[in-house]
């Protein structure tokens, strides 16, 4: 029987348990993956803590991203075959108006040696990458494609500020912006990650706990400010982004690392005529044409070597609690992957 991770109550990493369970058969429109590598994401910490946009039914499975081999197809599935090496791309279920629902969280979860998922969220993995790398590509590059390519249309004319820059999603944005020819400014809390970020392709690094973001960005850009910010921080940090933006700048927010309520600086936003976009990979996954374009972009760019996933550390499945503790430490530089 495959090992599966579940949790029976909200709480810290210690609530995660590895169990042996019967092998599940895929239903209509579903496929089953023999999991080889699981990419960890902040959404899973939020789900475990009870702070997610969807609510689990206990004892709940957990996990939104993994990669492996298709070993069973449900009725009505076409375009995929048993034996395909593929990844499950994160998605959330939605209602007729586009509101997120809890259906997918209650039905699916990828932490384990086997998982059944909807066929529409499965993408063939590029050739020439390792099992671990395959577990690290779809969420980070899919999110960055939606935020920077689809929404922002990033180009060589842009100055892109990437915040929380040592996270996997931010590093994906950094790579995509650099490949587009943009100038990239990486923002991180402390300067101890500066050398790593410059090595990852950033043109400049700002340590936000040691430097004033607005002053430093204006210094780097000759007073102009950034044209695009790619930001998972939110909270009061939005005010700092507004100050560092150029007129008509675009702030793409895809996360909520800072959860405090804020008073939006409306007058400075109005004075600069700024654009805001709140972005989720889940919307890309909800819309078939965008989903197909995202899959093709990630597959082809990774296959060509233009995008190269940075994996910080791997853990075996039996150490899933330690893997979550490590993710919460915020010391990682890139993706954390759990192997089976």
In angstroms, the CA 179 to CA 95 distance is: 36
Q: In this predicted structure, what is the pLDDT of residue 248? A: 97
Helix (H, G, I), strand (E, B) or coil at 149: helix
The set of residues, in sequence order, having a beta carbon less than 8 Å from that of 327 and lying 6+ positions away, is: 40, 42, 45, 336
Look up residue 167 and give its two tokens: 């996270």
| CATH class held by domain 140-280 | alpha beta
If you count them, how many residues does the chain have?
A: 340
Q: Where are the domains of the chain?
A: 3-137+309-339, 140-280
Query: Vertex 302, ends 180 and 157: CA angle to 5°?
Result: 5
Q: In this predicted structure, what is the pLDDT of residue 258? A: 83
**Which strands sit side by side in the sheet containing 245-253, from one edge to the other?**
204-207, 183-188, 159-162, 226-231, 245-253, 275-278
C-alpha dihedral, 303 to 309 to 313 to 316, nearest 10°: -40
The set of residues, in sequence order, having a beta carbon less than 8 Å from that of 250 and lying 6+ positions away, is: 151, 152, 227, 228, 229, 274, 275, 276, 277
In angstroms, the CA 23 to CA 299 distance is: 29
Q: In this predicted structure, what is the pLDDT of residue 261? A: 79
Give the DSSP letter string of 107-143: H----BSEEEEEGGGEEEPPTT--HHHHTTSHHHHHH
DSSP 94: B
Categorise residue 297: left if φ over 0, alpha if ψ from -120 to 50, beta otherwise: alpha
Q: In this predicted structure, what is the pLDDT of residue 24? A: 96
Please tell me the number of Cα atoms within 13 Å of 184 on its side-chain side. Answer: 29
Q: In this predicted structure, what is the pLDDT of residue 264? A: 80
Q: In this predicted structure, what is the pLDDT of residue 155? A: 98
Q: In this predicted structure, what is the pLDDT of residue 44? A: 96
Give the DSSP letter string of 155-223: -TT-EEEESSTTBHHHHHHHHHHHHTT-EEEEEESSGGGHHHHHHTT-SEEEETTTS-HHHHHHHHTTT
CATH of 3-137+309-339, one of 3.40.710.10, 3.20.20.70, 3.90.180.10, 3.30.750.24: 3.90.180.10
Chunked into runs of 10 residues, the chain (340 residues) has average pLDDT values of: 97 98 97 98 94 92 98 96 98 94 95 98 96 97 98 98 95 98 97 95 96 96 97 92 97 88 84 95 96 98 97 98 96 95
Query: Vertex 48, ends 42 and 50: CA angle to 5°?
Result: 105
Q: In this predicted structure, what is the pLDDT of residue 256? A: 84
């Amino acid at each position: 029987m495959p090992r599966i991770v579940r949790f029976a109550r909200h709480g810290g990493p210690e609530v995660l348990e590895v169990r042996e369970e019967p092998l599940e058969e895929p239903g209509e429109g579903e496929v089953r993956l023999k999991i080889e590598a699981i990419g960890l994401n902040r959404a899973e910490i939020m789900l475990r803590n009870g702070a997610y946009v969807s609510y689990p039914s206990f004892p709940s499975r957990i996990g939104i991203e993994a990669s492996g081999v298709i070993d069973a197809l449900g009725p009505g599935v076409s375009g995929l075959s048993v034996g395909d090496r593929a990844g499950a791309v994160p998605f959330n279920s939605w209602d007729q108006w586009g509101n997120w629902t809890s259906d997918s969280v209650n039905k699916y979860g990828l932490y384990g040696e086997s998982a059944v998922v909807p066929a529409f969220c499965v993408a063939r993995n590029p050739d020439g990458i390792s099992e671990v790398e395959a577990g690290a590509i779809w969420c980070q590059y899919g999110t960055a494609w939606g935020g920077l390519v689809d929404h922002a249309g990033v180009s060589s004319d842009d100055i892109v500020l990437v915040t929380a820059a040592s996270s996997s999603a931010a590093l994906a944005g950094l790579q995509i912006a650099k490949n587009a020819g943009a100038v990239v400014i990486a923002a991180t809390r402390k300067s101890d990650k500066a050398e790593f970020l410059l090595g990852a392709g950033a043109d400049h690094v700002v340590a936000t706990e040691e430097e004033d973001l607005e002053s430093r960005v204006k210094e780097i850009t000759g007073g102009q400010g950034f044209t695009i910010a790619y930001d998972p921080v939110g909270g009061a940090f939005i005010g700092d982004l507004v100050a560092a933006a150029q007129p008509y700048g675009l702030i793409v927010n895809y996360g909520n690392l800072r959860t405090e309520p804020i008073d939006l600086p409306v007058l400075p936003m109005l004075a600069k005529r700024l654009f805001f976009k709140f972005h989720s990979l889940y919307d890309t996954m909800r819309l078939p044409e965008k989903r197909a374009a995202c899959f093709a972009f990630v597959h082809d760019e990774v296959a060509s070597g233009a995008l190269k996933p940075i994996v910080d550390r791997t853990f075996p499945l039996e150490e899933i609690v330690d893997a979550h503790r490590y993710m919460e430490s915020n010391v990682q530089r890139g993706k954390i992957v759990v192997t089976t």
